[in-house]
Amino acid sequence: MWTMVALLLDLASNGIVRAGPGTIFVYLLVMTQLTIFTVTLYLHRSQTHRSVDFHPALTHAFRFWSWLTTAMVTREWVAVHRMHHAHSDTEQDPHSPHVLGIGTLLFKGTELYAEACRSKELLTKYGRGTPDDWIERHVYTPHCNCGPTVLAIVDLALFGVGGMAIWAIQMMWIPFWAAGVVNGIGHWWGYRNFETADRSANLIPWAMWVGGEELHNNHHAFPSSAKFSMRRFEFDLGWLVIQMLAGLKLAHVKRVACADRKHPEYHAIKGPQHATLAPRVWAMTEYFRKVMLPAVRDETRRCGATPSPSLSLRLRRALADGGRWLTADDRVHLNAWIDARPCLRTLCEFRTQLAALMEQRDVDVGSDGLSRWAHAAEVSGIGSLQTFAASLLANTIATR
């Protein structure tokens, strides 16, 4: 009798495996990384954006893992994320830190997600094409919470009562890193390679623990690309795994963005395998890089000898989007700085007109508005603007 009690007490405190801290650490690392891969490879890149297909057996393994470790339903995740892309950083975005506050995203990201999932309209409009077989209808969707319950029992059996702490970390992993950090900080802080219409940013060039999702601005620029890294110093762990799976014939990549920024046609390559930049993103990125930034640098150099209030990096960045996201005070400051510099004011006006034109669907060189804009740029007498106008026309012709 006492032996039995002692055995049960030992099992409760140490679990079946009697793991030490090292084993627990490795277990947590492997389990959380598998969950991250399930989210970024399966839910995000494959189901939401259709940039990669997986072997049916692997697809099902992802579905099972998602059920076991996250309780997330594929259709709901896909719908919420597609809605985010369709309305990024607007009132309709289910999780914009600029609308809801960064604190809300970091600490209540899961609640925002759950609230968005309650909208039947959202699920119908954005959740198409996700699994709808027997197991989805009878197990994964109606019993989504059973997965984490099973996982809790497994952790308890393996590690004893300490397994509950391990389980809690597993349960917090995706809500914190995906719903909080990527959805929140990924639209709040970081560097931008592309002038997308939203405020997406690359957090850092590499972050193994979020599997490539840290390159969020690249992803918003090329949503249908299976690969998120674009520059030489950026590393996408998810893409590395996709390549390995493709080598094993378990993955079929459907689209990849051309990563060579110096390639003369990196934005214009067309074909089933290439994700391309939207004309608006390409035009606004090039305009900022090749027209606005050189003009600001010239201005700074010119004023170098005389005392002149220089523009903070934040306000300089704001020239990329016309100060759209600045506070009223900052916008007044920026406008005053621009108004004192006629050449820059002209360039800002051209930028505003170009942005409005590029918002229109099917904009091409044949459109009166763009032709008029290019003509005005060519006679502006500003060298960088003239060069840009010529490349814009050439690019638009090439992509028609």
Which residues make up the interface to Zn ion (CB under 5 A)?
200
Q: How far apart are CA 277 and CA 175, in angstroms?
A: 30
- Nearer to Zn ion by C-beta: 108 or 187? 187
- Nearer to Zn ion by C-beta: 123 or 215? 215
**Rounded to the nearest whole angstrom, what is the least distance from the CB of residue 197 to Zn ion in the complex?**
12
Q: How far apart are CA 354 and CA 338, in angstroms?
A: 18
**Rounded to the nearest whole angstrom, what is the least distance from the CB of residue 45 to Zn ion in the complex?**
8
**Rounded to the nearest whole angstrom, what is the least distance from the CB of residue 198 to Zn ion in the complex?**
7
User: What letters, b where the CB count within 10 A reaches 16 and e where it falls short, cover 267-290?
Assistant: bbbeeeebbbbbbbbbbbbbbbbe
Closest residue to Zn ion: CB criterion: 200
CB atoms within 10 A of CB 348: 20
Contact 393, 374 (CB under 8 A): yes
CA atoms within 13 A on the CB side of 296: 22
- Nearer to Zn ion by C-beta: 274 or 331? 274
Q: How far apart are CA 364 and CA 362, in angstroms?
A: 6
**Rounded to the nearest whole angstrom, what is the least distance from the CB of residue 103 to Zn ion in the complex?**
18
- Nearer to Zn ion by C-beta: 277 or 296? 277
- Nearer to Zn ion by C-beta: 49 or 267? 49
**Rounded to the nearest whole angstrom, what is the least distance from the CB of residue 5 to Zn ion in the complex?**
53
Q: How far apart are CA 287 and CA 26, in angstroms?
A: 47
Q: CB-based contacts of 146: which residues, under 8 Å, 6+ apart?
A: 67, 139
- Nearer to Zn ion by C-beta: 200 or 229? 200
**Rounded to the nearest whole angstrom, what is the least distance from the CB of residue 176 to Zn ion in the complex?**
17
